[in-house]
Structure 1
Amino acid sequence: MRASRLLSALLLLQTRGRMTARQLADELEVSVRTVYRDMESLAAAGVPLYGDPGHDGGYRLLDGFRTRLTGLTRDEAEALSLAGLPGPAADLGLGTVLATAQLKLMAALPEELRDRTGEIRQRFHLDPSGWYTEADPTPHLAAVTDAVWRQRRIRLRYRRWTAPQEVTRTLDPYGLVLKSGRWYLVAARPEAVRTYRVSQILRIQVLQDRFERPQDFDLAAHWQTYLADFDARRLKGQAVLRLTPRILVQLPDLVEPAVARAAQDGAGPPGPDGRVQTVIPIESAEHAVGMLLRLGAEAEVVAPAGLRALMAQTISALADIYGGAAGQTRSLI
């Protein structure tokens, strides 16, 4: 275990350059004290490792030093064979590059690992798109990708949900995220970092201005924070429900994850009729009605009173429509 950690630390320094003890500790999931001991062990083993003191200091390798301990294990080769997503790579204009890289990887592997990775691809396929949805049309994705790579500022005409629906924005494009088959641009404005759906870009101009991307900006970490903040801003209300055990189990397939998770985590003991009471977050009463109608008669709104009344009004209107239709059908028969 320690030998593997030392090799990982060495490869991190080789690929990223200078790193602080805290950065190494976070990457290796150990304490800073452990990193200090590991650095001493690497230096004692003859690795040309230097530690620079001070706020901007850290550990670094002697310029030009490269380790040859980069052979792939069987598990690593198998993992790499599942890492490529041909669809998204093609969207970004990297389809041919990915195919060439995979061929080079296969050619460099020993025969045993090459056969194994070939079998992996025949048994596992990764599809990042969501069910019941088609991929967004993204005619401007290539231009956005080019701006992200070259760190060029962009000016775009964008369609949003709120008025005014069409706006012009000048942005520093930090990165792209693929979420359930949809591409999102994470970009900076003077006041904050924002998220834009690429399919809603109407026009784009890549400017000659070059921007400096913050060195400490972590796209994956930012995206996770954005998702949590998005749910917190959107799901400000609450509703008390009584659910059958069957529908409680099926919730992950019927409602969004935050709602299903809250309902299942907060479910109380079954009542005399077998139903459980729980609380879910909601965006608004109007939005909740459409979601809760999917659950049919196996869900009852207890509170708030306004949502319960709106559910009753909607169900009554549906009964009038389908009750009349049923009567017409019987008369025809």
Structure 2
Amino acid sequence: MRASRLLSTLLLLQTRGRMSASELAAELEVSVRTVYRDMEALSAAGVPVYGDAGRSGGYQLLDGYRTRLTGLTADEAESLFLTGMPGPAAELGLGGVLAAAELKLLASLPAELRTRAEALRERFHLDAPGWFRPADRTPWLSAIAGAVWDGRRIAVRYRRWREPQEVDRELEPLGLVLKSGLWYLVAQAVDRPGQVRTYRVAQVLELVVLPERFERPETFDLARYWAEWARRYERDMLVGTAVVRLSPKAVSRLPHLYGDVVAEAVARTAEPPDEHGWVRAEMPVEQAAVAHDDLLKLGAEVEVLAPQELRALVTESVRALAATYLG
């Protein structure tokens, strides 16, 4: 246990530079006293680690010192290669960098771990984009990624869904997210500090990376923001409610066609099934035109009871289909 912690301490100092005893203690979930003892052990083992006292002090490694990754377990080495995403990395302009990093990592592993890591890469492959749709054209993705990394402001012309459709924005880019093969930029507008928003990268029409740098908010957490935004986005898109009758087959398909938000709402509002297993429930939907298209995916396994506008749209489509196929 201690050997693993010492290796983690060494890697933390190697990747992050100077760290205080309290920062190391919080990261490793140990006491500050334990950190002091570990530093003494590393120093006694010949690791060139030294500490500076004072308010801005901390521990750090001698400049130029690096350690080989021989402390990786088999599972850790395998997991690193499982996270490799050659497609997205290439889109970010990092394809060659990723390949070089994997090669260096392989060279640093013992023979047994190297064999297992290579076998894992041969057996598992991540294909991020969704089915039946072309990938977004993202000519500005690499430039945006560079601005995110360097902390530089960007000026963009962006196409949005409401009028005016094309707008100019000066943004402070905080992060990039890949969701179902689509790239999203998380940023805050310069004229609206503190308001973080999400932009689809494919909708960026023009871009200029500006010389000005910005201070990244210390409390901003990209993963937490995205999780909260995604939940809010799903909830806000479902602006209405339809009363429907669903067959058992339709109920089983809800999570795959409409996601967990809709499936959970139907399960929560469903009345006891009738003698044929059909249930009456309330189903969250988008505006009528979109809901009409979505509900047709269920074919004859759903009946729309309300609102009347939506029922009329579905009825019209059913009549048109009957005229086409039945003459």
Instruction: Tell me, yes or no, whether TM beats 0.5.
Output: yes
Q: Percent identity?
A: 47
**Is the aligned partner of 1:251 residue 2:254?**
yes
Superposed, 1:1-333 pairs within 5 Å as: 8=8, 11-12=11-12, 15-16=15-16, 17-18=18-19, 35=29, 37-45=30-38, 46=40, 60-62=58-60, 64=62, 70=69, 71-189=71-189, 190-191=191-192, 192-264=195-267, 267-302=270-305, 305-306=306-307, 309-326=308-325, 328=327
Could you tell me how far 1:10 is from its partner in structure 2?
6.4
> Structure 2: any 5+ residue segments left out of the alignment?
42-48
Residue 125 of structure 1: how far off its partner (Å): 0.7
Counterpart residue type for residue 38 of structure 1 = S
- 2:32 maps to a residue whose letter is M
Residue matched to 2:45: none
Give the alignment's TM-score, normalised by structure 2. Answer: 0.82
Give the structure 2 partner of residue 32 of structure 1. none
Counterpart AA for 1:153: R
Once the two structures are TM-superposed, the CA of residue 115 in structure 1 deviates from its matched residue by 1.1
CA distance in 2, matches of 1:76, 1:273: 52
* Stretch of structure 1 that moved more, 291-300 or 119-128: 291-300
Q: Does the aligned pair in 1 maintain the 2:25–2:35 contact within 8 Å?
A: no
How many Å separate the matches in 1 of 2:20 and 2:317? 63
Paired letter, 1:41? T
Q: Using the TM superposition, name which of 177-186 and 63-72 deviates more.
A: 63-72
Of stretches 175-184 and 264-273 in structure 1, the one that deviates more from structure 2 is 264-273
Cα 1:24–1:227 change in 2 (3 A) is: farther
- Structure 1 residues 245 and 153, CA, compared in 2 at 3 Å: closer, same or farther? same
> For 1:144-185, what per-residue CA distance to the aligned partner results, in whole angstroms no more than 9, with x for missing partners?
122222222111111110000011111111111111111111
Partner deviation per Cα, 1:3-37 (whole Å, 9 max, x = no partner): 75676566446544547969965x66xxxxxx4x5
Distance 1:317 1:111, change over 3 A: same
Q: Which amino acid aligns with 2:37?
A: A
What letter matches 1:61 in structure 2? Y
More moved, 248-257 vs 259-268? 259-268
1:60 Cα deviation after fit: 4.5
Instruction: Label 1:324 to 1:246 Cα distance change in 2 as closer, same or farther (>3 A).
Output: closer
In structure 1, what is the Cα distance between the partners aligned to 2:20 and 2:251?
A: 48
TM-score where L is the length of structure 1: 0.81
Please tell me the root mean square deviation across aligned C-alpha atoms, in Å.
Answer: 3.2
SS of the equivalent of 1:186 reads strand
Where do 5+ consecutive residues of structure 1 fail to align? 29-34, 329-333
What secondary structure sits across from 2:31 in the alignment? Answer: helix
Letter in 1 for 2:181: G
